[in-house]
Amino acid sequence: MIEAVGLTKRYGAKTAVYNLSFQVRPGVVTGFLGPNGSGKSTTMRMILGLDRPTAGHVTIGGHPFRRLPNAPRQVGALLDAKAVHGGRSARSHLLSLAQLAGIPAQRVDEVLGVVGLQDVAKRRSKGFSLGMGQRLGIAAALLGDPQVLLFDEPVNGLDPEGILWVRNLMKKLAAEGRTVFVSSHLMSEMALTADHLIVIGRGQLLADMPVKDFISANSADFARVRTPGAEPAQREKLTSVLVEAGGQVLSEPDGALRVTGLPLPRISDLAHDADVRLWELSPHQASLEEAYMRLTQGAVDYRSTDDRLAHLQPPAQPGQPGYGTPPQPPVQDVPQQGWYAPPPPGQSPYGAAPQAPGQNPYGAAPQAPAQNPYAGAPQAPAPGPYAPPAAPQPGLPQPSDDTSKDVR
Amino acid sequence: MTAPAHHHAQAPHAYVSPIPVRAAHLGDALASEWTKIRSVRSTMWTLGVMILLMFAIGLGVAALASASEAPLGEESALGFGFFGMLPASICVITLGVLTIASEYGTGMIRTTLTACPSRARVLTAKAIVFFLLVFTLTTVVTALVAAAQVAMVDAAEPTGAEWLRATVGAAAYLATLGLLSMAVGTLIRHSAGAITVMIGLLLLPLVAAMFMFSQSLKSVQEFLFTYAIPSQMISLYSETPPFGESGPAGWEPLLIMAAIAAAALGGAYALLNSRDV
């Protein structure tokens, strides 16, 4: 059990972690999510007593790490896969750690086998790939066979086979009754690995809830229904029928309807009974990645801008269209990409958001972002017509208030 | 428990490792540091070069002296050991700094302090292992070199006290200088920076003193000539102060170096304990 209370860390004027309170319980994999620079690693270092909190405290099993009896037998950690002396062989590295913690030397060969590095144990770790380095770091964490395990970005640099291995390892360790705390910036990975999520952004807690709750709160299914564009009456008619049948209907910018609360066959039946023709009836699911990005988008520290190579562009020379500035397409062209198709899988719908804020149904822009700088929206029952159907998301922005209660 | 997916029977805190738990102590840390220091090449390189330089320079100087006709007076041949000590001290400084600063450079220090939250124990183990390694090795080398020098050069027969200072004393001086380097490495946390500081400390006072021609700086010049580290190494071989009437002689340079190293190590302990890693 890891318990943080009001954890705060400031480096000069920069606040890396602010007033973070959470519990990490044994028996489940707890994912620790946040964008780059959100304070995940700082928090992990504070848990391990490497950094001293400016305010608040964090304990493991009731003790601060540095006062924990037999600490290396109770806590194992992978902080940074590159945190080894490259000139030392994998085996010597682990042996020195085992000796330091009073662990029998034979355990070194056991963990080398567990992470699959037994064949390169004698090689200097300088020549290791990132994936091998991660395995060595995981081996070091497992050395003391500890009750509490912390992993900072354990799948970085691993191949798909390695990712699967780490995923199963985490689950197995948790199933043995251990406390497993895994940080990542990949929601998709955590959705598969973790049972519980702690999400932070800019050093503050954004969410603390079981993954199942996060999924049900954020990845609500909806159906997109489109009626013939030239006949608005049909659209009105269908809307009223669907609402009567208990569905929630929202209008999308291009005239399609977003329907929640009714299964697809039922929508089709209702439309048929109402004598409304459908041009489209398609199932959609907001992805977890999307929900996560919506939650953290206000808290992203490092945002890229377009690389315009501005200083290399020759100044515009009127009258010489050939070699001057490339002809600028009219800005209005851009949003003309069809909204009929759902966004291609894997392509972030946010990529398009800045171009047409008002038109992108996924963009968080219409959701009164001013109310909460971190969460995109879900706080107020969104007034905008395009709010995602999952608007009544319990406790996303105030996790410590309601969602944590049922957990504790 | 909240996650319905896990219906395992264990209650929280159920996992108990089958490996017997015992409290780690300084002995474990010593074993660990011994493993660390012998499993990196920089140790072999710095100590290997040190041994090579001490033998080559010590025997070379002795050969030159024996070929020369000039009388040595009442001096014994042990004083020639100094010429090997100066380059050896650069190797020892490098190793002393690397012992701790390489952990900062690679990030290994975080892994180490996760495996042993008692930072003082880690630093103590490092200091003991490093000191004993350098002390043992240089005692053997200085003894061999001194024996060869005494045999080669026709000079006064050294006394037992002189033998002790030229071997154990010189080795202890080098190892203590190494401890000072380790403390500086802990304070600065950067290999190149700490090595630069230590080499500067070793050589610059003497170089600066050499160019203090002004009469007004005379006292400063004398102080530097007397207390610069190479001067103190020479004093180690001499019963009376070799530079003027006052100044350290005999075992005194070792005590001075030990006091400086102890102060620096005290600072290193305090900062290591309070600083974020």
Q: What is the pLDDT of residues A215-228, one digit of tens each?
A: 777 666 788 899 88
Cα A8 to its chain centre, rounded Å, is: 22
d(CA A230, CA B226): 102
**Residue of B2, B28, B119 to mutate, interface with A, max A Cβ within 10 Å:** B2
d(CA A382, CA A365): 11
Contact B106 A101 (CB under 8 A): no
pLDDT mean over A149-167:
92
pLDDT at A221: 73
pLDDT at A117: 95
- Residue A387 exposure: Cα atoms within 13 Å on the Cβ side: 19
Partner B contacted by A70 (CB < 8 A): yes
> Chain B residue closest to A29 (CA)?
B3
Instruction: Please give the helix or strand (H or E) that residue A260 lies within, else none.
Output: strand A257-260
Contact A100 B21 (CB under 8 A): no
The C-alpha of B140 sits at a distance from chain A's nearest C-alpha, in angstroms, of: 27
Q: Is the pLDDT of residue A47 over 90?
A: yes
Q: Is the pLDDT of residue A318 over 90?
A: no
**CB-nearest partner of B116 from A100, A107, A176:** A100
The pTM score is: 0.77
Q: Which pLDDT tens digit goes with each residue over A86-137?
A: 999 999 999 999 999 999 999 999 999 999 999 999 999 999 998 999 999 9
pLDDT at A296: 78
Counting the structural domains of chain B, the total is 1
The C-alpha of B238 sits at a distance from chain A's nearest C-alpha, in angstroms, of: 42
Q: Which domain holds residue B169?
A: 26-274
Q: Is the pLDDT of residue A363 over 50?
A: no
Contacts of A101 in chain B (CB under 8 A): 24, 28, 115-116
Contacts 24+ apart (CB under 8 A), A334-338: A335/A359
The C-alpha of B17 sits at a distance from chain A's nearest C-alpha, in angstroms, of: 6
CATH number for the domain whose boundaries are A221-285? 3.30.70.600
Q: Is the pLDDT of residue A340 over 50?
A: no
> In sequence order, which residues have a C-beta less than 8 Å from that of residue B84 and are 6 or more positions away?
B53, B54, B55, B57, B58, B61, B142, B145
Contact A83 B106 (CB under 8 A): yes
Task: Please provide the DSSP assignment of A158-205 as one string.
Answer: --HHHHHHHHHHHHHHHHTT-EEEEEES-HHHHHHH-SEEEEEETTEE
Q: What are the sequence ranges of the domains in chain A?
A: 2-202, 221-285
Q: Note the ipTM here.
A: 0.90
Residue B1, in any domain of the structure: no
pLDDT at A36: 86
**CB-nearest partner of B110 from A83, A85, A89:** A83
Contacts of A77 in chain B (CB under 8 A): 114
Sign of CA dihedral A310, A314, A318, A323: negative
pLDDT mean over A367-387:
41
pLDDT at A120: 95
Contacts of A95 in chain B (CB under 8 A): 35
Stretches where chain B sits below pLDDT 70 are: 1-13
**Measuring CA to CA, how many Å separate A283 from each of A179, A348, B99?**
38, 18, 62
Phi, psi values for residue B2, rounded to 5°? -110, -35
Partner B contacted by A167 (CB < 8 A): no
Tokens of B172: 């202890």
Residue B189 gets the label, from left (phi > 0), alpha (psi -120 to 50) or beta, of: left
The C-alpha of B24 sits at a distance from chain A's nearest C-alpha, in angstroms, of: 5
- Mean of pLDDT over chain A: 79
Contact B181, B93 (CB under 8 A): yes
Partner B contacted by A177 (CB < 8 A): yes
A 10 A CB-CB count for B30 gives 19
Task: Please provide the DSSP assignment of chain B as one string.
Answer: ---TT----PPTT----SSPP----HHHHHHHHHHHHHSSHHHHHHHHHHHHHHHHHHHHHHHHHHHS----TT-BGGGGHHHHHHHHHHHHHHHHHHHHHHHHHHSHHHHHHHH---HHHHHHHHHHHHHHHHHHHHHHHHHHHHHHHHHHS--BPPPHHHHHIIIIIHHHHHHHHHHHHHHHHHHH--HHHHHHHHHHHHHHHHHHHHT--SGGGHHHHHHHHHHSHHHHHHHHT-SS-SSSSSS--TTHHHHHHHHHHHHHHHHHHHHHHHS--
Residue A142's nearest CA partner among A164, A172, A185, A122 is: A172
Instruction: Please give the helix or strand (H or E) that residue A16 lies within, else none.
Output: strand A14-24
pLDDT at A317: 57
The C-alpha of B84 sits at a distance from chain A's nearest C-alpha, in angstroms, of: 29
Tokens of A269: 């039946």
d(CA B143, CA B78): 10
Q: Which pLDDT tens digit goes with each residue over A182-212?
A: 999 888 888 889 999 999 988 999 899 998 8
**CB-nearest partner of A96 from B8, B35, B277:** B35
Contacts of B12 in chain A (CB under 8 A): 1, 25-27, 177
Fold of A2-202: Rossmann fold (3.40.50)
Say what percent of chain A tops pLDDT 90: 50
**Residue of B7, B15, B25 to mutate, interface with A, max A Cβ within 10 Å:** B15
Which has more confidence, B238 or A295?
B238
> Chain B residue closest to A52 (CA)?
B276
* Core vs surface per residue B97-113: b (16+ CB within 10 A) or e: bbbbbbbbbbbbbbbbb
Contacts of B37 in chain A (CB under 8 A): none
Contacts of B13 in chain A (CB under 8 A): 1, 26, 61, 147, 177
Contact A324, A316 (CB under 8 A): yes
Contact B276 A50 (CB under 8 A): yes
Place of tokens 């330091």: A100
pLDDT at A286: 65
> In sequence order, which residues have a C-beta less than 8 Å from that of residue A140 and are 6 or more positions away?
A76, A78, A93, A94, A97, A111, B111, B115
Contacts of B102 in chain A (CB under 8 A): 85
Residue B127, in any domain of the structure: yes
The C-alpha of B176 sits at a distance from chain A's nearest C-alpha, in angstroms, of: 24
The C-alpha of B61 sits at a distance from chain A's nearest C-alpha, in angstroms, of: 36
